Structure 1
Amino acid sequence: MERNLKPLKGIHHVSALTADAKRNFQFYTETLGMRLVKKSINQDDTSVYHLFYADERGNPGTDLTFFEIPNAGRNQRGNNSISGTSLRVPDDESLNYWKKRFEEENVQHEEISSQSGRATLAFEDFEGQRMILVSDENNEGAEGGKPWKKSPVPEENAVYGLGPVHLTVPNADPTEKVLTEILGFRETRKYPSSVQGQKDIRVFETGEGGTGAEVHLEERSDLPPERLGRGGVHHVAFRVEDEEEIRKWAQLMKELRIPNSGFVERYYFRSLYFREPNGILFELATDGPGFEGDEDFEHLGERLSLPPYFEDQREEIEAKLKPLKTSN
């Protein structure tokens, strides 16, 4: 439908929960080789960290973020959930590197397999976070980011962006309508579920399509609702060009009477939040301004970064946070 809105450009970021910021930092920077581009706070609860891992500078479409909730229970997997987060690697050969690395570092993982025409390697972090490495060997579509040259992982094997996000719901039709009729995704293909007796998984893409612009929608009749906790995913964000566009989206949500947050200033980007009918939290987020407004490129993620509107509370905020050493 014609709404004077530009197509969403792909996945912007995925935000998950951890109960242990220190171990989380070690796993995602030392084991996965991603760069911590911002050590900040949950702007809705300033007593906990918000950590941003990405490519060399946090280019849009590369951010995997975590809210630290120290007393969070373990995530109880189920329906109405973001059930899998993909990370892009350059090619099929990279997956052999990662399989060996996971074996050496005792990371729980599956075998290399094919998913919807791409080579993949599923694994879990130390809290059971479900992750999938996806080969970009045959990818055509949204570009990935640029690996950080100081990463412990060689550039030719490095994680350099987010891949498809997996949603699991008890009834796919209402979610499909939001994806296609409101957000402008298009259904492109299907592939069989790994669970006998369940429907095929449906693939939707936006913008230029490809690995960095897909949602994989799985309908499961055999699962209870998820109970979100550590190792679970809080929300997924989709890429919007700029502030002008995000304000158009806010107006559209108002016209459609869809409950939403309205325009939200996050400093590093501008956002809007809403829940689709199965209760999964979606965010629309702008590509900019980015992470270099308060730290230069060489020192991203080294100090506690607070948006300007929290700076006058720095002493109080730092007193509540457990120290987290993220620089040499």
Structure 2
Amino acid sequence: MSTPRVYVIHENPEWFPPLAAAFAAEGVPVQEVLLTEGQIDLGAEPEPGVYWSRMSASSHTRGHEHSKEYTRAVLGWLERAGRTVVGGSHVLELEVSKVAQHGLLQAAGFDVPRTSAVFGTAPLKEAARTFTGGQDVPFITKHNQGGKGLGVRRFDSLAEFDAYVDSPEFEAPVDGITLLQEYLTAREPFITRAEFVGGEFVYAVRVDTSAGSFELCPADACEVPQVIAGAVCDVPGVEAPGAPAAFSLREEVTSEHPLVQRLRTFLADQGIQIAGVEFMETTDGRTVVYDINTNTNYNPAVEAVAPVSGPRAIARFTGALLERDHAVAAV
């Protein structure tokens, strides 16, 4: 068997270099495992080490339609063998289901958006009428399994929605589940993403939404022009003079913030060790939690000014797990 190390399970090589640099800086041996194709010898023991799953709900948009199923099989194999897995089977199921996220957040007492899950395309138009009470009020759609703003659109009337469902522009969700969700108006044009590593708060990111985009991915590779729901998101770094940065550190949100403390407890209860949780403060005084990102990415502009590095915190956390396992094996 090889020297124990941290194995990073994922399907998008573009996301790996910042993580590799962080592990190198912390002196933690790391190896990426691309789950785009391959095989598992079910009779063999997995290599010793710590396994961290970063499988993304949006993998199908990169031509990796079967990577989620491959990951399910690999995680089950690792867990049955007793390997330490960060972001294991339970966490993967949350990553690929906003329905599951919504249910757990609601059960834990968080304010969540009013949401209806629609299975299939045929019921969508009638479901929208039920959801809005037959009124022309704003609402949004989302894909149950997604990221990168997949399927997120705003509609201001039922006629507009009907036309979209019947049009070639309709985006069919990969799992057949479309969410109808109340449209929330932010008190100020931004949402907040609270980052946690090893169950501890790292920092909060202010994500500017003034351009109208629903593309909220903080990774450097995601910072490209987007056209979503008819709104154009400008390229960060070429904003008009005086315009807010797309991603910035929200310094007033600290580990003492009441919501941060509640989220920390929630993640611990759910066994989620690494995550970015998004919330919005609305014009009517609500603080609404609406998304759990279990394969969180980090924005380089925020990392440059943050007091703690997210990727390096992950390297330290998984490196400590690696040392723990080595100590136990030695005994």
> TM range, normalised to the smaller chain?
under 0.3
Give the TM-score of the pair, scaled to structure 2: 0.28
More helix per residue: 2
Give the TM-score of the pair, scaled to structure 1: 0.28
**Which of the two has higher C-alpha Rg?**
2
